Every structure is written in structure tokens, then in C-alpha cells.
Amino acid sequence: MRITVLRLGHRPARDKRLSTHLMLAARAFGASDAFYCGTMDPGLEDSVNRVVRDWGGGFKVVYAASWRRVMSEWGGRIVHLTMYGLPAQEAVPMVRAEDDPLLVVVGGPKVPREVYDMADWNVSVTGQPHSEVSALAVFLHMLLEGSEQASEFTGARLRIVPSARGKDVAVSKD
């Protein structure tokens, strides 16, 4: 299943680290690419692109001026992560049963009602306030049933060598 993330309402002065972490979680937990809307932020794109260069994979992040356009032109199904949706435990099996490309929408500032209406599923990871990063990571982990843990990121210059103690990073000589 191809998974793309759409980040609504990025505000560089307020969301710089949060949006970067959201993109990194998307990449690490199985998404192939992401759009972000709000204010264009070349710094966000550069940060994510540096991680991809060092740690591998083909993840791409692209600015989109209009979230409405991304959602209305999407050629698959749409999940909107919100604390007001169906519990993830109920929704994930329905989402997983579909074979269409999946757009996972995560908010920022107040999410317009139209997002709820355009989504095929409004999904809640919990009914409590928490970050969009944690909601995305938990949702993708549930959706992919943990298979993202075994992902290989081709072209990686850096790779973690599992270790019970300490930090062991292998550096490719290429």
C-alpha cells in the first residue's frame, strides 16, 4: 500500500521542529512521501532531505499551496487523524482492506470541517489530546502491523547496528 501524508497548516515559526518530526515519523513508519500546506518552508524540506541522504530511502516532501486541491485530486482513499474519529482499533482493519493509495491527513491549527467531510475515515488514535506525531506513528504502526520495523532504506550512508548498550552506527564508504 502506498502511503502519503498531508500535513495541514505548517507555520515555520511555531511548527518547525514538530513538522520535521512528523515527516521523519512518516518516513520511518512506512510512508513513501508527504505534502505540507500552510507556509512554504525550504528549511523543513532541507532538514528532511538531509535525513534521507544520510539514512536512505526515497521519501520525498513537497510543499502544496492548497490542501483542498491535494485532497480533492487524490487518487485513492483518505484517512484524517483526529481525536474525534472512529477508534483506530475499529478503523484500521477497514483501511487495511483497501488496496488504493492512502493519504493520511494530520492537522495543525484548527482543522476545517471540510477535511472531516472529504475523508473516507476520520480516525482517532485516542480520545485524548496529544501530538500529531504520536497519532501518525501509532496509526501507521497499527496499519502496517509492525512490518515497518523491518524496512530496508536503500542508499543509506548511515545505519544503526543494534546494540543492547551504547550507540553503534555503521558508515557506508560509498
In terms of Cα–Cα distance, which of 28, 55, 26 is closest to 151?
28
Cell of 114: 471540510
3 state DSSP class of 103: strand
pLDDT of residue 103: 98
Positive or negative CA dihedral for 40, 7, 17, 96? negative
Residue pair 24/51 in contact by the 8 Å Cβ criterion: yes
Check residue 60 and give its pLDDT: 96
What are the structural domains, with CATH classification, of the chain? Answer: 3-171 (3.40.1280.10)
List average pLDDT for each run of 10 residues in the chain, which is 174 residues long: 95 88 96 96 95 95 97 98 94 95 91 96 91 95 88 89 90 81
**Helix axis angle, 12-28 relative to 132-143, nearest 10°?**
10
CB neighbours (10 Å) of residue 11? 14
Number of Cβ atoms within 10 Å of the Cβ of 138: 17
The pair phi, psi for residue 73, each rounded to 5°, is -95, 0
Could you tell me the pTM of the whole model? 0.94
From the DSSP assignment, how many helices (H) and strands (E) are in the chain?
Answer: 6, 8
Would you state the pLDDT for residue 61?
A: 97
